[in-house]
Amino acid sequence: MITTSGLTKRYGGVLVLDAVDLSVQEGDRYGVLGPNGSGKTTLIRLLLGLVYATSGDIRVMGQPVPRRLNTVLPEIGALVEGPAAYEHLSGRVNLALLDAAGPGGVRRTRNSRIAAALDRVGLAGIDNRPVKAYSMGMRQRLGLAAALLRTPRLLILDEPTNGLDPQGIREIRDLLHDLNAAGTTVFISSHLLPEVEQLCTRVGIVDQGRLILQSDLAALHTPTGRVIVATPDADQAAVLLDGRVDQRTGDRLLVRETDPAALNARLVGAGLRVTQIVAEHLSLEDVVLAVTRPGSDRVDRPDDRS
């Protein structure tokens, strides 16, 4: 669905993307993660032909971009760097103008498609107030509605839940799941790791312009070699395990052990009660923090070298 080879982008002397080899398969829910300033939004703009690469190749749905972009644009829905709109017009009028100006818009079905898109993003009851009166969350929903006007095969979204409250975030996540189940490939950038972890099947991690990791999400959730144990007999369990407990919080122990079943058998065999036992796995946050530098918005005190 999306492939890039050696994709590089410079702005003057600044290297923003450095030889990125991206692979997104049809049917993926693919999330791009990385610190602020890592190049995520630039990558999306390149995929949509909004900026041109310094070097490298891009193919979307098998077509070279930007050379054959007009061939695939009618099948792409996109939201990049927040929704744009004419502030003095209503949301419905904005969507009508966007549909009329974009490729593949059919006038005969325009009103019904606008109504369906607004309904899907939770704006079915929207009135005729101008967009300048919308909340940030309403603006984000309107931008998503614009991306859904033509039932896209590929949905490319930059921070799609920005400005939404927890209920709104869940609604959009469920919507993206449903769209994907119906055949839409979803490609998003986000800094919200829990959302990516709940939504995506594949992830790419970008840092300092380089794609440093690309993997199925399930493959990243590897065991840590420790087991989480909950037991009301925590004191006795800690003594029995003789120094293998790395951490204790109340009745929960974090134990250096690779076999939960064997550990459970040992504890129960010693007459101790076990209410929960499960292998610890790396979270997506653990993986991202392990392979990326501190965020670009961090400002540390210079070293005192005097």
Domain 2-220 and domain 223-289 have a common topology:
no
For residues 22 and 3, what is the distance between their CA atoms, to the nearest angstrom? 5
Tell me the C-alpha to C-alpha distance, in Å, between residue 91 and each of 100, 101, 143, 146, 174: 14, 15, 9, 10, 23
Q: From CA 127, how far away is CA 130, in angstroms rounded?
A: 9
Q: How many helices and strands (H and E) does the chain possess?
A: 11, 15
* pLDDT above 90 (res 277): yes
| Position 297 pLDDT exceeds 70 | no
Place of tokens 């009618």: 74
Residue whose structure tokens are 């005969």: 108
The CATH topology of domain 223-289 is Alpha-Beta Plaits (3.30.70)
Choose the most confident range, by mean pLDDT, from 48-57, 123-132, 193-202.
48-57
Which residue in 205, 149, 138 sits closest to 172, CA to CA? Answer: 138
CATH superfamily, domain at 2-220 = P-loop containing nucleotide triphosphate hydrolases (3.40.50.300)
Residue 305 has pLDDT above 60, yes or no: no
Q: Which H or E run contains 16? A: strand 14-20
Percent of the chain at pLDDT > 70 equals 95
Band of pLDDT at residue 301, cut at 50, 70 and 90: low
Residue indicated by tokens 């002397």: 13
Give, for 283, the enclosing helix (H) or strand (E): none
What is the pLDDT, as a whole number, of residue 296? 52
Instruction: Parse the chain into domains and list their residue ranges.
Output: 2-220, 223-289
Predicted confidence at residue 306, as pLDDT, reads 45
pLDDT of residue 67: 94
pLDDT tens per residue, range 226-239: 999 999 999 999 99
Q: What are phi and psi of 63, to 5 degrees?
A: -105, 140
Residues 60-74 pLDDT 10s: 999 999 999 999 998
Q: Is residue 62 within 8 Å of residue 219, measured between CB atoms?
A: no
What is the three-class DSSP state of 118?
helix
Mean pLDDT over each residue of the chain, to the nearest integer: 90
Using a 10 angstrom Cβ sphere, with 0-12 exposed, 13-18 middle and 19 or more buried, the burial of residue 278 is exposed
pLDDT of res. 302: 62
The arithmetic mean of pLDDT across residues 75-99, rounded, is 89
